Amino acid sequence: MRAAEEGPIEALAAERLLARFVPGAGSGVLAVVFSQIRVPAGKFGLARLFARTRHACLFLNDVAGGWYLGLADAIDGRLDALGPRFDRVVYYGASMGGSGALAAGLRRGDGEVLAFGPDGRIGAPGTQSAAAGLAEAREDALAPLRPGHAREVTLVYGGFDPADGFAFTAAARREHPLLRPVLVRSGHEVHDHLYSVNVIRRVIQTFTRPIAAEIAAKALAMAADPAALRAFHAAVTGRADGDAIAALAPRLPGHPGVPFAAAERFAAAGRTDEAVARLEAAWAMVEGDPALRTLPKRYRKRYAARLLDLYAASGKTAKAAALLATCEADFGGDPR
C-alpha cells in the first residue's frame, strides 16, 4: 500500500487550494480526488482510501470550505501541467468534494465523474453549502452538462436527505445518455455508508464495476416517487407543520426521514406525544431493516439521541432507560 502522505503539498490560489500529486503504479487511471469540508490543511480527504489502489492521484483540498468556487483556473492549470499521459481520468468526491468533482468534470469534459451527494444548486435551501453560509448560485450544478458531453457522469445520492433526494430528481429529469443518477437508501453520508458495506473499495479498485449494480446487491437501491421527494424537500425547507409532513409518509414508504422531520415539527409545536410516536416509528424503521442497520452510526445516533430527548421531556423514563441501554450496547459510550 502506498503511503497516504506521499508527495509534497502544493499551495495554489493564494494558498486556499492545496494539492498533492501521487504517482500511480501502472493502472493508467488518474483519480482527481476532491476533499470534503473540514479536512484540515496538510491533509486530503480519502487519501488513505486511494492509497490502496494503483491509480495516480491528484488530491485537492479547498481549505476555506468554499465548495471549490472560484478555483477553476487553479485546478485546470494543475491538471494541464500533468499532460495527457493517462488512459482515463476520474473526478471523484463526496459532499463538497462531490460538487468540486462534478464542476471540474463537466467543465473539462476529459474524464468521468463519480460524485456522492453533490449539491444540486450550491447554496440552495437545505443543502450542505447553504449550511456552510454560501450564497445561492444562479444556475443548477448540471447546467454545464451539454448534449455533446462524452464522459459518464454518475451522481450518487442518499434519498433520506431532503436536499439530496431533491437533487436526484432534478438529475433524473435531465435527458442525457451518459448521466447516471443513483438513489440510495441512505442519508447525506452515503459515501461513508457505501464504504462500510464494501461497495466503494470494489468500485474504485478498477473503476469498471457499475456502482448501481453494487448498491443493488447490498439491498440499498432506493425506488421513490420523484414528486413525493420534491414535496418532502419543499415541506422540510418551508413552513409545513408536522401533520403536512406526516401526510407524505404513505407516498415515501420505508423513508425514515419523513417521520423524523414530522417529529421535529410536532416537537416545536409542543405536541410532544405526537413527536414521540413519529420518532419511534422512524427509529423502528431504521433498526428493523438489516440493510438500514448498516447506516453510519452517526446517522443512526441522530434518531436515538433525539428520541431520548423527547422521552426525557415527556417523562417516559422507563422507555428512555431501555433505549439508552440499547444505544450503549450498539454505539458504546457517548457523553450526549
Cβ 212 vs Cβ 249: under 8 Å:
no
pLDDT of 3 strictly over 60: no
C-alpha atoms less than 13 angstroms from C-alpha of 241 in its C-beta half-sphere: 6
Asked, for residue 294, whether it belongs to a domain, the answer is yes
Task: Provide CB contacts within 8 A for 175, sequence distance 6+.
Answer: none
pLDDT more than 90, % of the chain: 93
Question: Is residue 229, in this structure, part of any structural domain at all?
Answer: no
Question: Which residue stretches of 210-256 are H helix?
Answer: 211-217, 226-237, 242-246
Per-residue pLDDT at 1: 54
Q: Is the pTM of this model over 0.85?
A: yes
Judge whether 149 lies within some domain.
Answer: yes
Looking at the fold, whether 256 and 321 belong to one and the same domain comes out as yes
Q: Taken in order 124, 230, 150, 57, is the CA torsion positive or negative?
A: positive
Instruction: Kindly state the cell numbers that stand for 92.
Output: 471523484
37 pLDDT tier (thresholds 50, 70, 90): very high
- The residue behind cell 490543511 is 41
Residues of the chain with pLDDT > 70, as a percent, come to 97
How far apart CA 91 and CA 295 sit, in angstroms, is 25
Q: Are residues 181 and 75 in the same domain?
A: yes
Asked if residues 30 and 53 have their Cβ atoms less than 8 Å apart, the reply is no
Same domain, 93 and 194: yes
pLDDT tier at 332, thresholds 50, 70, 90: confident
When the pLDDT of each residue in the chain is averaged and rounded to a whole number, the result is: 95
pLDDT in tens, 6-20: 789 999 999 999 999
Task: Output the domain CATH number for residue 95.
Answer: 3.40.50.1820
Q: Are 91 and 32 in contact (CB under 8 A)?
A: yes
Q: At which of 182, 217, 252 does a domain end? A: 217
- 38/146 same-domain check: yes
Segment 110-154, tens digit of pLDDT? 999 999 999 999 999 999 999 999 999 999 999 999 999 999 999
Report the distance separating Cα 159 and Cα 147, nearest Å. Answer: 27
Looking at the fold, whether 252 and 126 belong to one and the same domain comes out as no
> Residue 110 carries which DSSP code?
S
In whole angstroms, give the CA distance from residue 29 to residue 277: 51
Q: Is residue 230 part of a domain?
A: no
In a domain, 2, yes or no: no
* pLDDT tens, residue by residue, 250-260: 999 999 999 99
Q: Which residues span the domain enclosing 290?
A: 239-331
For residue 335, the model assigns a pLDDT of: 63
Q: In the prediction, which pLDDT does 334 show?
A: 66
Number of domains in the chain: 2
Same domain, 277 and 190: no
pLDDT of residue 7: 82
Asked if residue 53 and residue 89 are part of one domain, the reply reads yes
One domain for residues 281 and 193: no
Average pLDDT over residues 75-91: 96
Task: Write out pLDDT tens, residues 159-172.
Answer: 999 999 999 999 99
> How buried is 150 (Cβ within 10 angstroms: 0-12 exposed, 13-18 middle, 19+ buried)?
exposed
Q: Would residue 130 count as lying in a domain?
A: yes
**CA–CA distance, 71 with 129 (Å, rounded to integer):** 16
pLDDT value of position 319: 95
Helices (H) and strands (E) in the chain, counts: 14, 8
Q: Answer yes or no: do 50 and 146 share one domain.
A: yes
State whether 122 and 254 are in the same domain.
Answer: no
Per residue in 286-327, pLDDT (tens digit) is 999 999 999 999 999 999 999 999 999 999 999 999 999 999
